Amino acid sequence: MAEAHQAVGFQFTVRPDGLDLKLSKEVIKNIYLSGVTAWKKRAIQFKNGVLAGVYPASPSSWLIVVIAMMSSLYIPFDPSLGMIDALKENLPHRHCMSVQTRAVLSAILFATGLWLFLIYLLRYTLKALLSYHGWIFESHGRMSKCTKMWLSLVKMFSGRRPLLYSFQASLPRLPVPSVDDTIHRYLESVRSLLDSEQYNQMETLANDFKDSLAAQLQRYLILKSWWGTNYVSDWWEEYIYLRGRSPIMVNSNFYIMDLLYVNPTHRQAARAGNVVHAMLQYRRKLERGEHAPLRALGTVPMCSTQMERIFNTTRIPGIETDIVQHLTDRKHLVVYHKGRFFQVWLYTGGRHLLPSELETQFLRILNDTSEPLPGELKLAALTAGNRVPWARARNKYFSQGGNKASLDAIESAAFFLTLDDEAQGYDPTKTKSLDSYAKSLLHGKCYDRWFDKSFTLISYPNGKMGINAEHSWADAPIVGHMWEYVLATDCFHLGYTEEGHCKGDVNKGLPNPTRLQWQIPKECQDAIETSYLSAKQIADDVDFHGYLFTEFGKGLIKKCRCSPDAFIQLALQLAQFRDQRVFCLTYESSMTRMFRDGRTETVRSCTSEAVAFVRAMEDAGATNAQRLALFRKAADKHQNMYRLAMTGSGIDRHLFCLYIVSKYLGIDSPFLTKVLSEPWKLSTSQTPQQQLNLVDINKFPKYVGAGGGFGPVADDGYGVSYIIVGENLITFHISSKFSSPDTDSFRFGQHIGKAMLDIQALFKSENDKKMVEQAKQIQMENGKKHK
């Protein structure tokens, strides 16, 4: 045990002539180095905190202002307009100071005040500039003079070398849309999904709401937007995620896959060692705020708040609601392997364990032949089942003694690692390898992932990796950002030996990983089994299909002068109609991180324009020219909807918050109740790629990720996640339920592929027509020359 290993460094013997102390130099050295590292870390965090706190100014700018004010003491003109003299006459204990001392001190105080004023002026100027969103509505590649001037000003006021949290105070608040605009957009979004009678009923409900309750609820919401940093995010986290009492496995958690084509090593312990070490490097930069903030157009900053809780975070179950527990400076992780839980320390001598040292620790766990304790094998199934039984079991069986200590070790760990015992990963020779891989990441065996941790890192025997992430604390792009850094560091910076081991010397002097101890009574084992059976029923019902579309990708779509996202969304609408023969309410997630504490907004992709295009595609009498014109109109509409959602003018978050206010006030709104109960039968999301640009995928085309996915949202619907990988690949992660007779994930994947090709054929037809017209024109010109 680690504690026993450390204890032998300090021994004493009581003798008649006194106390005989024996100190281990190695232990004392480790304690010293640990203390030095801790103080160094605090110093760096303090320095970076100051740099972020005064941004876009710098500490050195204070000295410049002070020198300028001090210089003014020796010139006839007073730039302080008499304020320095006023300060000089009102200083406490001024009678104890010389005239020169009072003048210098007054100048320093005035300069400091002026400096702080200038910082706030710069921040609010930048905030005002960032509140302008006209640039996002301009056509791609066509930037107006106004936007160019605005972009130059943003660059000028953004300062140099910003840290991760430098822009937080300058980000604008999420605006509250007007009720009229939101209701108008909502009715427009459902017009094509309802018949005339249903639409008239909904329109009546909407107008009644607008004329009666809306103004009162809106006032409270505007007040909240003034008081809080974001009027949506805290309620979204609490009511959409934390208050849900159903299992979070499949229903809420999502997964992210490893590299699609490349496996850096086939040694499980070595790959886990490199990846964990890369995560520790990422965490160190995160704690110091040293990551560069994400910026649209390379200039417009995104909110970084969600990144604070990537590590050291756990969702704690409760009877009525869960809470998110975030700790700081955790120095261990917990590893699960074949039913046993092990605690592994991540530091030695005040530094991170090296990859080779981590490999040694993981090998020790893999080679451990001990058996699980009674109830230990499926213990994590409690996190996969319903939340209330888990909360009750936690309070009853894990609130004291050894069980509490072991549970605290898991919940306070930096993250959770599973050393799986079944190989997974994409294999082009096996038709369902991607399907199996996804299901393993999404739910595993229902008891071999700790679904409450911010994320569970999963390591397979063939060297493949993956992540299962809890959703309440952050959205997929945040985990994706970390995963991109880790994969690039693993493959291009850390590397492996020729034998596939981690580079570096093996340190066999490290203390062995510690087995967590449990005493689980029969009643608790019954609760574990109940949760397991409930989770297994959910997992067995997941119908998953991973589809790699390789016919074309982003490169060809852009040549068609179309947004890749709009292209794919319209292909999904066409596939949905061909699969179900009806249109449905469609959810696409967009981000609102251009605002302080922003998370997501919904884009309602099934627009009237999209419906018209799909009907034209299914109409044998329609020409390709007509279909293409309708496609362009639908794509433009989708792009506009997406841009509105990104700039705070979406529909669903506003209506959701109005509904929450109505519940607080005890007011019943038939309109809001009906809107919030509508099912999303097609739920879609695009996984971001190349957020960091650490790998040139044109130079290394095989080093691309496979993206990630999530479970089906509706019992009779589809969940579709897609990632646009480079120029020639798009991956689709499709989920549904076996229990639904109307859905089939493989069939839907085939419809998506056919829809993509059919839309591409429209542009091919247009290009062929243009080529024919150009050939005729050339022929006519040659004929004229011949005459």
- Helix (H), strand (E) at residue 572: helix 564-580
Residue 87 token pair: 């300060």
Closest CA to 603 of 651, 544, 545, 673: 651
Rounded Cα gap, residues 23 and 18, in angstroms: 16
Return the CA Rg of the chain: 30
Closest CA to 331 of 9, 8, 26, 38: 38
- Pairing state between β 300-301 and 295-296: antiparallel
471 annotated active-site: yes
Q: Which of 277, 443, 471, 545 is labelled catalytic? A: 471
Q: Are 410 and 450 in contact (CB under 8 A)?
A: yes
The 3-state DSSP class for residue 256 equals strand
Angle (CA) 251-652-723 rounded to 5° is 55
Residue 786 token pair: 């011949």
Closest CA to 723 of 710, 709, 741, 743: 709
Bridge partners (DSSP) of residue 455 are: 469
DSSP for residue 415? -
Helix 624-646, helix 608-618: angle, nearest 10? 160
The b/e string for 583-616 (b: 16+ C-beta within 10 A; e otherwise) is bbbbbbbbbbbbbbbbbbbbbbbbbbbbbbbbeb
Read off φ and ψ for residue 232, nearest 5 degrees.
Answer: -110, -50
The owner of tokens 């001024």 is 94
Cα-Cα-Cα-Cα dihedral sign, residues 513, 519, 525, 527:
negative
The owner of tokens 């005035």 is 110
- Pairing state between β 682-686 and 718-725: parallel
Residue 460 token pair: 């397979």
The set of long-range contacts for 423-429, using a CB threshold of 8 Å and a minimum separation of 24, is 423/460, 423/461, 423/462, 423/464, 424/460, 424/462, 424/464, 424/466, 425/258, 425/263, 425/460, 425/462, 425/464, 426/257, 426/260, 426/261, 426/546, 426/706
Rounded Cα gap, residues 274 and 561, in angstroms: 42
- Helix (H), strand (E) at residue 469: strand 465-469
Residue 258 token pair: 């490893």
Read off φ and ψ for residue 37, nearest 5 degrees.
Answer: -65, -40
Residue 706 token pair: 């496979």
Burial class (CB in 10 A: 0-12, 13-18, 19+), 169: middle
Rounded Cα gap, residues 550 and 535, in angstroms: 35
* Catalytically annotated residues: 471
